[in-house]
Structure 1
Amino acid sequence: MKNNQNSSNPQTKHVAVIGAGIVGVNCALELQSLGFQVTLIDPEGIGEGCSKGNAGHFATEQVFPLAEVNLLWQFPKLLLDPLGPMALSPRYFVKALPWFWQFMTNMLASKRARNTAALQALNKNAIAYYQPLLRAANAEHLLTCNGSLLVFESSNRQDAVAMLEKYQQAGVAVKLLDREQTLLLEPNLSKKINFALYFTEVAHTANPYEICQVLAAQAKQLGMTFLAAKVSHIHYGDDKINLEFCPQHMAQQSSALSEQSFDHLVIATGAWSQSLLAQLGYKLPIEAERGYSLDLSPTTKDSLTRPVASAERKFIITPMAHGLRLAGTVEFAGLKQKANMKRAHMLYKNALHLLDDIPKLAQKNAAEQAGWLGCRPSLPDSLPVIGRAPNHPNIQFALGHQHLGLTLGAITGKLIGQELTNQRPDIDLQPYSISRFN
């Protein structure tokens, strides 16, 4: 770590971290470890949003922004199928247009190259940042470094090789496997799979929710406090930040005030960040990429030993403590529309094509019972916002991690800690500044 002289005494500073997902928890743990007095704030509890039902994949291989030119020709087909890998609610179409316009401008070669380099910098050592945290919490068993597979059913070898070379040129550790080699790694995969890319340096967890809980518990042991409340307004001053809370979310906080003062603030509110940043005068073109997951109990021991994603079907299967989790796809329908659990059921139909032995859904409405929806906080350039607010030196942003919230949680916490203590960050934070949208 590269240090400059600290210009503040953390022990005299009170920091509020708004948002208790994996990113906010990592920020809170890092800051509490540095000696700050941290209050973590969330109305839903710790790890109850995207950090609960996600795929559990530490996807450091995902160094390419989502915006690529090839998507332009696929959009009509993708959007016409309501249960396809990508869906756009007709009711939400007009509201989503500005985001899609900015998304398409990021397809330009120069922007795409710049955004790829920024993702590479974050992903390169992202898993290594988790290891000391989990070791300190006696939870190293929650991180399995067993690689992952991207499997191809209908794509030809030429397509698989082209993708292999693309990842290799980006510095990703990956091998091309044929059917026999793939089945040696994962015997329960279908014989219809022709090829696989084997990402050898990625990881997964059998319980992403538990990772959030154990890191939060570690922060609490160090002195962090948790406040179950919803922040309604941020009142900014040069020396203090006052947070005003919604009264209806304070009913069980009898000792809490309707407003509290802090020396520093970290906003880690994911897909719900836009309104809070607007109060501070910042534009944030964020969309909720709604992703679904479906949990299954195993029928055989070790039915999978690592995450398996489908190149054609755009979803992933991860071995979990309870069995298997099917996750993925993208739905643009905003934050308020009711979940469409048919999309969770669709994941099961896709999994039937990838696995030889798969648990049966016990009843017709099983997907309604086992399905889950999480809102990924996605920005048009696929980069998060990390770092100091340009016009508010004692406010930090840690949000917009799209599909990589779990992956980038620990490194984000480290970077926020370095910024807040005036150390030189481990990587240049300029590409992730909110100023790129303002």
Structure 2
Amino acid sequence: MTTSSERPAADIAVIGAGIVGVACALELARSGMRVLLLDRQAPGRGASYGNAGHMATEQVFPIADAGLLKRIPGMLLDPLGPLRLDWRYLPKAMPWFVKLLWNMRAAPYQASIAGIRALNEASLPAWQALLDSIGRRELLKEEGSLLIHERHESAESLTMLAMRMRAQSVPVEEWSRQAVLGRVPALTDRVRGGLFFPATGHVSDPHQVVLALHDAAERQGVRFSTCRVDSVSANEEGVRLETSAGTLVVPRVLVAAGAHSAPFVAGLCGKRVPLDTERGYHLMLPREAERLPVAVTSLERRFIMTPMAEGLRLAGTVEFAGLERPPNMQRARQLERLAQGLFQRPLNTESATPWMGFRPSLPDSLPVIDRVGPQGRVWLAFGHHHLGLTQAAITARLVRHFHDDTTDSALPPLAPYRLGRFA
């Protein structure tokens, strides 16, 4: 670390070594910057470690929809439901949920869709280019994904969803039971059909993707420091970070700390950002690596199953309980029960491992990607909720353009992701 009287240790410090922070660090180093990457954990050990691994480019709709109000009683009463609001966290969560409901109005809701869609449409090509550039394209499986249904009465809902998606230019195909079982023969014939999304995919191991990018970043000159960032401030002369390893003074900082980003934004910009966390759970089944060829989501059961190199990952359950409360691993174990009856042969759950991580969520379902603060010294890339993996590569490309103050007409415009949208 360095003091203010010494030469800066880097041109920019990146706070957060998850998938977004590491991808940004690599792109910034390629632009010629000296980059210092900071995290209290090893790279990729936070939310990026346990995400569903799905490149969810089809998910262009905000997390709040017209059906949310009907689900609130169940969110409070069912501790193992797919969408859970811990009643003890309710007083703290209420301001965030009010903003969430406010964004369900027609104009902001459509603005959120446009912002999500713009990032998602550019996400898969950005990932292809990024993984090609480090020689690790094999980590990305571009074989599409499925949303299946089991109840006859769900067919109309799925058709309506397909129509809404086509209206947003999302490639989608309506598949019969025979088509679904032909692609995924391990499923039971209680499956009645589904939607196939050809422009999606999954990764074979989300953690390995982070490590591959980090290795490439280190070869590009990025330095990593395991430390806790306690406080931050910025002025016309630079950015000061007080860390567990000492004081660091740099010309610029990029906040990419996911669900932990809000205090840094407050310290650097004096702005309270309405950031909360969706606590996501997964259950990893190490003996089921070959069960599915593509990621499969169940409409009625509200969870996703993704094939990975180290097994089958069951994920998708969401809990609002803040950053402090211990994980409720029964929610992860519940995923095994959700999968029962979906397969011709029961899943092998021997040595199954549960996990919980914090997804950073903003009430309009859009991330913050911006350059703010004194002399534009504060750069921001956080709040991608459950689309952090999907949108990481395109976010890194956008952040790279902060360095030379240029725009690229091929990239999404930054206006929807500006910090200033929060009063």
TM-score for the superposition, normalised by structure 1 = 0.91
2:403 counterpart of 1:420: yes
Question: What residue number does 2:259 align with?
Answer: 271
- CA–CA separation in structure 2 for the residues paired with 1:392 and 1:380: 28
- Paired with 2:129 and 2:367, the residues of 1 have a C-alpha distance of 23
Residue deviations 1:270-329 (CA, integer Å, cap 9, x gap): 101111111130111111100100010335x73101100111121100001012000111
**Could you tell me how far apart the structure 2 residues matched to 1:429 and 1:141 are?**
30
Structure 1 stretches lacking a partner, 5+ long: 1-10, 251-257
* Alpha-carbon distance, 1:132 to partner: 2.2
Identify the residue that residue 398 of structure 1 maps to in structure 2: 381
Whether contact under 8 Å (1:298, 1:358) holds in the other structure is: no
Of residues 342-351 and 131-140 in structure 1, the stretch that sits farther from structure 2 once superposed is 131-140
Match of residue 337 from structure 2 = 349
Letter in 1 for 2:125: A
Cα distance in 1 for partners of 2:228, 2:120 equals 31
CA distance in 2, matches of 1:40, 1:358: 44
1:353-392 matches, cutoff 5 A = 353-362=341-350, 370-389=353-372
Residue in 1 aligned with 2:200? Answer: 202
Q: Which residue of 1 aligns with 2:124?
A: 127
Query: Match for 2:276: what amino acid?
Result: E
Indicate the RMSD between aligned Cα atoms, in angstroms: 1.6
Q: Deviations over 1:139-160 (max 9, x none)?
A: 1110010000011112432222
Q: Report the CA distance between 1:180 and its aligned residue.
A: 0.8
> Any idea what the Cα deviations from partners look like across 1:63-82, whole Å, max 9, x if unmatched?
00111122112222343211
CA gap of 1:151–1:392, structure 2 versus 1, over 3 A, is farther
- Residues 26-425 of structure 1: matches in 2 within 5 Å? 26-154=23-151, 155-246=153-244, 250=245, 258-280=246-268, 281-299=270-288, 302-362=290-350, 370-389=353-372, 393-425=376-408
Specify every segment of 5 or more residues in structure 2 that has no aligned partner in the other structure, as ranges: 1-7
Residues 75 and 83 in structure 2, CA contact (< 8 A), matched pair in contact too: yes
Q: Secondary structure at the match of 1:125?
A: helix
Deviates more, 1:416-425 or 1:36-45: 416-425
Contact 2:139 / 2:209 at 8 angstroms: preserved in 1? yes
Which moves more between the two structures, 310-319 or 384-393? Answer: 384-393
> In structure 1, what is the Cα distance between the partners aligned to 2:374 and 2:346?
53
Q: Distance in 2 between matches of 1:230 and 1:417?
A: 25
Deviates more, 1:316-325 or 1:417-426: 417-426
1:170-215 per-residue CA deviation (whole Å, 9 max, x = no partner) reads 1100101111110001001121111211001101011000000000
Provide the C-alpha distance between the structure 2 equivalents of 1:57 and 1:315, rounded to a whole number of angstroms. Answer: 12
Question: What whole-Å deviation, never above 9, does each CA across 1:57-100 have from its counterpart, x for those lacking one?
Answer: 01000100111122112222343211111111121111100000
Selected match of 1:432 from 408, 417, 420:
417
Q: Which amino acid aligns with 2:114?
A: A
The letter for the 2-side match of 1:181 is A
- Count of aligned pairs between the two proteins: 412
Sequence identity percentage: 40
Give the AA of the match of 1:240. Answer: G
Q: Does 1:25 align with 2:14?
A: no
Q: Distance in 2 between matches of 1:192 and 1:359?
A: 16
Instruction: Note the alpha carbon deviations across 1:99-158, whole angstroms, 9 max, x for none.
Output: 000000011011111110011110002011112221222211100100000111124322
In structure 1, C-alpha distance between the alignment counterparts of 2:47 and 2:257, rounded to whole Å: 11
Are the counterparts in 2 of residues 303 and 357 from structure 1 also a CA contact under 8 Å?
no
